Amino acid sequence: MLSRAVALTRHRFPPSISSSISGFLSSTRSFSSFPDHTVVGMPSLSPTMTSGVVSRWNFAPGDSFIAGDSLAEVQTDKASIDFESTDDGVMGLQFVEEGVEVQCGEPICITLEEGEEFNAGDFEGYVADASKATPAPNASPLPDPPAPPAAPTPATPQEQSQQSQAQAQHQQRQQVSSSGERVIASPLAKTIARENEVNLGLIHGLGPGGRILAEDVREFIAQDPTAVGSVHNVQGHSPPPSPTSVVGPPTIGENSTDFPTSFDDRQVAANLLDSKRNVPHYYLTVDVSVDALISMRETLNANASDGEAGVSVNDLIIKAAGKAMEAVPSVNSSWLESVVRQYDNVDINVVSSNGHSPCIRDVNNIGVSEISRMASSKADFGTGTFSIVNLGSYGIKSAACIIRRPQSAILSLGAIEERIVPSEQEGVLYKKSDMLTATLSCDHRTIDGAIGAQWLQAFKHVVEKPVTLLL
């Protein structure tokens, strides 16, 4: 009944492993006094996986499902797994409650054939047989990324015809996207599209009724790698926030306490580990005076209308970062393997103390008051083109944060503190000034040292001379 289980990361299992999983999930039929059914067990999907947690059941007992539906979400030691069905069927008994850990190979549910009616009374006294849900072989190491394409050769007439057909299909997909029609896709397809920032409206679904399946998204990305990040080209589109999974209670030991991690925790951890391993980071640091910026803030808030919320120093810094992007646009980019994509709009994720990262859209085209409103509303948690982390409230002097892929840079700000600095006034050697330390983490593949330094100097110039924000 079930056929695919795919991790919600950028990685994919090789065909050999996918076949093994399919063979496991299509477990043997049970012939007994009970109605015919299929036992579904917890598979081992990685060399280190010994157990999994059903974080969410998407169907209740008796519910019918169709091909492409995700029956359940499972947390492993590395990622979250969606169980997608390629056949129609009916959900039967569920042996595992949400949030409960199950050893690999142990039964988690049974399913019935399409059109069959599930009656819990027919399975009274039923005990799942783990032998009918033998786990699949452990997953082998992930394959190396594909080699870059060879230099193009003159196309034959047949190839030219195929290219013309592909272009026609691409144009058709664009027409579907612009038509405003509702896009129907499976949960796993939506997840993969969100992770790769692919516009689902550009994809032609091959599932029942035109439903977009996970394989359709993967094939689309493989055929057109430049489609990654296309979600930025859709006006007003924001990827939905990741779901919050069920987390069990802490386990108190003799000398320690174990706190279970959630789906969000593991997804963030996986993304950060992937970025730290695969992105060549380097760091640039500069000290910035905020005397003029604080003075401007006081002036703006003193002249604000009654009832109007004032702007913060952080709001002005966000605007300054957008202004610096206009001076050095190369920093507002993403490494997409075959191309470096430079964005026209500056969309900034502002990392808050609770770990959430609301996205301020079009920072380069809106005013400070609008930035303040959007930052306080926290309505958009999509992926931006740049990130800012302000740790000043914790008294941190400086930090070097990990880049959020597919972004190419992140700005880390420390606490504002009064320091003695050289004076520019004639006859005065030193003065007191409010200073902060700004550190820019850069992806060396898209931003070399000179470009990163230019951007940081442009940012410093705008902050220290905030009147330029009006230009």
Instruction: Calculate Rg over the CA atoms of the chain.
Output: 27
- Which position among 11, 237, 444, 461 bears the catalytic label? 444
The Cα-based distances of 448 to 283, 322, 408, 445 in angstroms read: 11, 19, 11, 7
The yes-or-no answer on residue 77 being catalytic is no
Q: Is residue 467 classed as helix, strand or coil in its secondary structure?
A: helix
Tokens 């029609």, located at residue: 181
Tokens 């913060």, located at residue: 312
Looking at residue 310, its amino acid is G
The yes-or-no answer on residue 216 being catalytic is no
What residues pair up with 289 in beta bridges, in sequence order?
A: 435
Tell me if 30 sits within 8 A of 38, measured CB to CB: yes
Write phi, then psi, for 214 (nearest 5 degrees). Answer: -60, -40
- Which position among 36, 258, 344, 448 bears the catalytic label? 448
Tell me if 369 sits within 8 A of 311, measured CB to CB: yes
118's CB contacts (< 8 A; 6+ apart) are: 61, 62, 90, 91, 92, 112
Could you give the CA distance from residue 299 to residue 320 in angstroms, rounded to a whole number?
A: 17
The Cα-based distances of 388 to 254, 291, 350, 352, 376 in angstroms read: 41, 20, 5, 9, 15
Could you give the CA distance from residue 414 to residue 417 in angstroms, rounded to a whole number?
A: 9
Run of H or E residues at 174: helix 157-178
Residues with catalytic function: 444, 448
